[in-house]
Amino acid sequence: MPSILKSLKLLSDPTRIRILLLLADESLNVAELQEILGMGQSRISTQLSQLRQEGLVTSSRSGKNNVYTISAPDALMEVARQAAGEIPEVEADSQTLSHILRKRRDKTRAYFDELAGKFGKRYVPGRSWKSLAEAMLKIMTYDVVADLGAGEGTLAQLLAPRAKKVIAIDNAPNMVEFGKKLAMEHGLSHLEYRLGDIESPPIDDNAVDLAIFSQALHHAERPERAIAAAHRILQPGGKLVILDLLQHSFDQARDLYADTWLGFSEVDLFNMMKKTGFKEIETTIVDKEAEAPHFQTLLAIGQK
C-alpha cells in the first residue's frame, strides 16, 4: 500500500498532479504525455518514475512504448482533483487529451496512413498524387477562396477554375506581380492578387468560404494572429485548411528558406485553431519526405 506521507509529498508538484489526472482518464505513453504537457521526455520520465516507485501508477509494455496506468487510491485522487482548481493548465490538458483520443479512434486515418506508405512504391502508369489532387480539385466547388501566403499563386490558379473568385495574398511585390501576369496569360479574370500580410490580409470580414495556408504559416511572425485573421475573413460555416511542416529540428531552414518557425506540432495547430474559435478541428500527417531532413507535412482543417 502506498505511503500516505510520501504520496502527499508527490502531490505537492503540479506536474505530477497533471499526470495523475490525465492517467485517471486514460492510459498513456510518454510520447502522448509529452504532446499534452508540452514538456521534454526526460522530465516526464522522471516524474513517472517517482509516481511508479510509490505505487501511484503502473507501467506495461506495448510494442516499443511503455504505457502508464493510474493505480493511486481513490482518496488520494480526490485530493488531486481538489488541487486541480489551483492549476490553470488542467483544463487545457483535458482538451488536448480529447484530441489525442480522437486520433487514436480514427480508424480511417490509420488506414490511409498505411496506404500512404505503399502508394508510389510500385509503378502504375498514370497514377500519381498530382493526378489525384487535380481530380479532386475539379469536383470541389467554392464561392470565394483566400489563398493566404500564395507566393506566385500555383495553388490559387488550380483552384480558380472551380471558384467564383480566388483572392491570393502575398507580402512580396515581385510574387504578386508575377502571379498577376500568369493569371492574365491564362485568362483567369476572377483570380485577384493583393499585396498584404497574412496576419492582417486585405480582405473584408465574413467574405470567403474557404481560406488556405499552404506552407505559409511557418513564415508568420505570429502564427496565432494569422489564424485569427483567417477566422475573421471566413463566413460562418467556412473552412480553414492549413498545410505546413510538422515540427522539426532542421535549424538551417531559417537561413535556407527564410523560415521563422521550425514547423508545428499537431497540438500546436489544434490549440491555436481552437483558441481562435474554430470547431470540428482535424489534424493529420499526410506526407514524409524520403530524403534528409525528412520533412513531414501536417494537414489541419477547421470550421468557423
Give domain 4-105's CATH architecture: Orthogonal Bundle (1.10)
CA distance 119 to 287: 11
The series of mean pLDDT values per 10 residues for the chain, 304 residues long, is 80 94 93 92 94 92 84 92 92 89 64 51 54 62 92 86 92 90 88 95 97 94 96 96 93 90 92 95 88 91 95
What is the spatial order of strands in the sheet that 57-62 belongs to?
Answer: 28-29, 65-70, 57-62
Cβ atoms within 10 Å of 240's Cβ, excluding its own: 25
The confidence score (pLDDT) of residue 182 equals 86
Can you read off the three cell numbers belonging to residue 175? 510574387
Please, are residues 188 and 213 in contact by the beta-carbon 8 Å criterion?
Answer: no
Can you read off the three cell numbers belonging to residue 134? 487535380
The confidence score (pLDDT) of residue 52 equals 93
Q: Which of 56-60's residues contact partners 24+ apart within 8 Å by CB, and which partners?
A: 56/2, 56/7, 56/10, 56/20, 57/19, 57/20, 57/23
Q: Taking the complete model, does pTM exceed 0.75, yes or no?
A: no
Nearby residues of 218 by Cβ (< 8 Å), 6 or more positions away: 244, 245, 259, 260, 261, 262, 263, 264
- Strands 65-70 vs 142-148: parallel, antiparallel or unpaired: unpaired
User: Before 14, cis peptide (omega within 30)?
Assistant: no
| Residue in this structure with the C-alpha cell 508545428, named with its chain if needed | 264
Q: Which CATH number fits domain 123-303: 3.20.20.10, 2.60.40.10, 3.20.20.70, 3.40.50.150?
A: 3.40.50.150
Q: Express each pLDDT in 85-109 by its tens digit.
A: 999 999 999 989 988 887 776 654 5
The confidence score (pLDDT) of residue 118 equals 54
The terminus-to-terminus CA distance of the chain in angstroms comes to 50
Q: Domains of the chain: which residue ranges? A: 4-105, 123-303
